[in-house]
Chains A and B, each alone.
Chain A
Amino acid sequence: MKTQTSSPLTEATFFILLSLSPSAKHGYAIMKEVKALSKGRIVFSTGTLYGALRRLLEQGWIKRVSDPEPNPTDRERKAYAITERGRRIVNAETERLKSLLTTAQHQIPEGPS
């Protein structure tokens, strides 16, 4: 069973973890949040989302919790929250991306060429 190494993360994994950073969310809310965070670039199909969630669950980067926004008319939905380990991973990835950006900004001269 292959497990994704902590760094670098795939864009989809990074955005899922990022979407869960502020609060726990259920599947549809994650889909909407990722779409918004990626400015419409990443739109998950349900199958792709749950494939990714399954791996994140097994890696222990996210966990199942009760829905923070339960719908009284609907049956209880499962929600997902980022774990401490997942948070460390997303922070490390953010630092890595920052470092890359800083290096790139130093290397590429600003202004018209």
Chain B
Amino acid sequence: MLILGMAAATYLTRVTPFFIRIREYRFLKYVPASVFSSLVFPDIVRSTDNLIAGIVVFAVAWKNRDLMLAFLAGISALYILRSVF
């Protein structure tokens, strides 16, 4: 019952936009920059370790857009910071 309700609620948030066409592409084109910024910032201001690791990843991502590289830079930077300090 709980699982069905959760599944329905989640699917609703995902499927509804696929059946309502939004023509305001002027706003929509800012979705990636806005959404990912909102997901990233609460996580990098959580602790000093996260903030430093976040800056490292920013620098890496600036030079190279490879997602795998960013991923590896992120986990290794945080792992090293947490082990050393």
| Bound pair (A, B) | no
Seen from chain A, the residues whose Cβ lies within 8 Å of a Cβ on chain B are none
